[in-house]
Amino acid sequence: MRRALELLRAPRHLPFGCLIAGLLLTAWPATIFADAWADLSATRTDLTPEDLARVESVTAPTKDFSKPEDYETMQGGAGTSRKRVNADAFSQASANITFAQQATFKLGNALFRKNWVSSPSSTQASDGLGPLFNERACQNCHLKDGRGRPPLGADGTTSMFLRLARAASNAEEQATIARHEALNFPDPVYGTQLQELAVPGLAGEGRMSVTYTEEPVTLGDGGTVSLRRPAYSVNDLAYGPLDSATTLSPRLTPPMIGLGLVEQIHPADILAHADPGDRDGDGISGRPNIVPAETTGKPALGRFGWKAEAASIRQQSADALATDIGISSPEAPRHWGDCTEAEPACLAMADGVQPRLGDTEAPVPVMDLITFYAQNLAVPARRDVGGKDVLAGKRAFYEMGCAACHTPKFVTRRDTPDKAQAFQLIWPYSDFLLHDMGEGLADGQPVGDATGNEWRTPPLWGIGLTGRVGGGHAFFLHDGRARNLTEAILWHGGEGTKARDRFAAADAATRAALIRFLESL
């Protein structure tokens, strides 16, 4: 870590905080900033002016593609895993945590892998499953702590779910969204997510169905690529029809690596990249999703989830436990998971709360361990960063405009709760903002400030190891429709149209180099 921070000694000409504050004041009306983001600092309050200058210097986009940047291999900072690349590449602990913390990490890993059982059960610390659920363990969805996959024949859908929601339908609901007290509104019968499985004595809610239509795309050099367009529906609904206003949004489980580092990026650094009105005219108008933060009761900057709907790892973990598995926690005290009043048989089932352990099925000690585990899954080291084709692909990545949304670098805050994540130069390749990706990728489901066309820029670190970790599969985008990285790029629309078109128009060698660069991440 000490060596990596030598990078931060370079001077700069204008304090970083001044640039951020200036952008914020011109990008959004003062009333919005004051009301919604009162607790989000427009400047980095954790650094001295000298450190601000160093951070600005080290995170500036590179202009030299003749060689790797300093410490580019260590894309997760000092916590980067240098262990052998294999199927467990996403399951390693941060390299810079203490020996005692490694024990905590392993306990969290055990809970992440634990299969919950239905109540009542003799294994009282493990019961509380469902009653309606999608999986019995976190690890069963986040395969090897990596990316999920879409349904493959009879293999089921356990690592991709259908989110159910509708937009505000009246002035009162619109005001609730505007005050950042809710993200959207659930289906009145089936809740926020389709639950395909159920405990004994209860029927699952239904079954997701997906069909694909192949659509050929012609590239600039005459080659063709076939994209598959998905169509989603729900079969065998057990409790009546869905509401006519309910939208279906498929969500693939994302990789778990580097989450603790993302959590420690200062809000000012994320907001600095936002340009809602596209004032600079580059066609990119990323904006933040300000979301309810149940842990604090105040609006917060969303940075996790496909639409940046969660502000913290703890809240994201609690929501997943409640919605995917049906396990309650202090942050999401829903003992019956996603069951609704329209499903009385579900609500009549026994819950798994053990008063001697706490007043929820996953009490504070359990949530502490699961959260620590999720915060400390290491990012693997880059490979072949100095390869000729990798460097050529990196140049193409910048020149095509990919880095306008996939921001390469950040430096985490100094005042982190855990010093292992403090002041780290990291390379997530994301701005963590919402972008309109066009009608082709739209799900039509608003989530807080995110529209039905908008998605958070997903981090790219580790993307080249997707197949290795996923047992040979490599499906990309929010619903896994892309079967490789080329297809994923060609699905970009909206704000990604220019970059996509430049990629499609490039010669085969340039396209191959860009893919090679992505595979090195």
> Of the ranges 151-165, 201-215, 493-507, which one carries the lowest mean pLDDT score?
151-165
Q: Is the dihedral of CA 302, 303, 309, 311 positive or negative?
A: negative
CA distance to 117, 300, 339, per residue, from 134 (Å): 13, 28, 13
| Residue 92 buriedness (CB in 10 A; 0-12 / 13-18 / 19+) | buried
C-beta separation of 226 from 216 below 8 A: yes
Position 72 scores a pLDDT of: 97
**Residue 256 tokens, joined:** 């778990």
Tabulate helix, strand, coil % of the chain (nearest 5). 30, 15, 55
Cα dihedral sign for 264, 406, 278, 63? positive
Whether residue 161 has pLDDT greater than 50: yes
pLDDT of residue 245: 97
Q: Are 248 and 162 in contact (CB under 8 A)?
A: yes
Contact 71, 4 (CB under 8 A): yes
pLDDT digits (tens, 9 = 90+) for 42-65: 789 999 999 999 999 999 999 999
What's the token pair of residue 470?
């996923």
Residue 24 banded pLDDT, cuts 50, 70, 90: very low
Angle at the Cα of 368 (from 364 to 369), degrees rounded to 5?
Answer: 125
pLDDT of residue 155: 61
Where helices occur in 326-465 by DSSP H, the ranges are: 344-347, 364-375, 388-399
Report whether 87 contacts 468 (CB < 8 A): yes
Confidence of residue 160 (pLDDT cuts 50, 70, 90): very high
Instruction: Please list, in sequence order, all residues whose beta carbon lies within 8 angstroms of the beta carbon of residue 134, skipping any fewer than 6 positions away.
Output: 141, 157, 158, 161, 193, 195, 196, 197, 324, 325
* Nearest-angstrom CA–CA distance, 467 and 431: 24
Tell me the per-residue pLDDT of 333-349, one tens digit each, with 9 for 90 and over: 999 999 999 999 999 99
Helix (H) and strand (E) counts in the chain: 15, 12
Per-residue pLDDT at 41: 63
The answer to whether 438 touches 494, Cβ cutoff 8 Å, is: yes
Region 109-129: mean pLDDT is 92
Where does 37-170 have alpha helices with state H?
49-59, 99-113
Q: What is the mean pLDDT of the chain?
A: 91
Alpha carbon 446 to chain centroid distance?
A: 16
Which residues, in sequence order, are CB contacts of 126 under 8 Å at separation 6+? 114, 115, 116, 117, 352
Please, which pLDDT band fits residue 330 given cuts at 50, 70 and 90?
Answer: very high
Computed from CA positions of residues 267, 271, 272, 273, in that sequence, does the dihedral angle turn out positive or negative?
A: positive
Residue ranges per structural domain of the chain:
66-95+258-287+377-519, 99-254+290-375
Residue 457 binned pLDDT confidence (cut-offs 50, 70, 90): very high
Average pLDDT over residues 125-137: 94
Across 303-309, average pLDDT: 97
Whether the pLDDT of residue 23 is over 70: the answer is: no
- Which residues, 6 or more positions from 239, have their beta carbon under 8 angstroms from its beta carbon? 189, 190, 203, 205, 342, 343
Contact (Cβ atoms closer than 8 angstroms) between residue 165 and residue 187: yes
Structure confidence by residue, pLDDT tens digits, 408-419? 999 999 999 999
Taken in order 444, 446, 449, 455, the sign of the CA dihedral is: negative
Give the model's pLDDT for residue 154.
62
pLDDT in tens, 466-483: 999 988 889 999 999 999
pLDDT value at 29 more than 90: no
- Cβ proximity of 250 and 371 under 8 Å: no
Nearest to 224 by CA among 500, 502, 497, 490: 490
Those residues with Cβ within 8 angstroms of residue 118's Cβ, 6 or more apart along the chain or in another chain: 127, 129, 130, 131, 199, 200
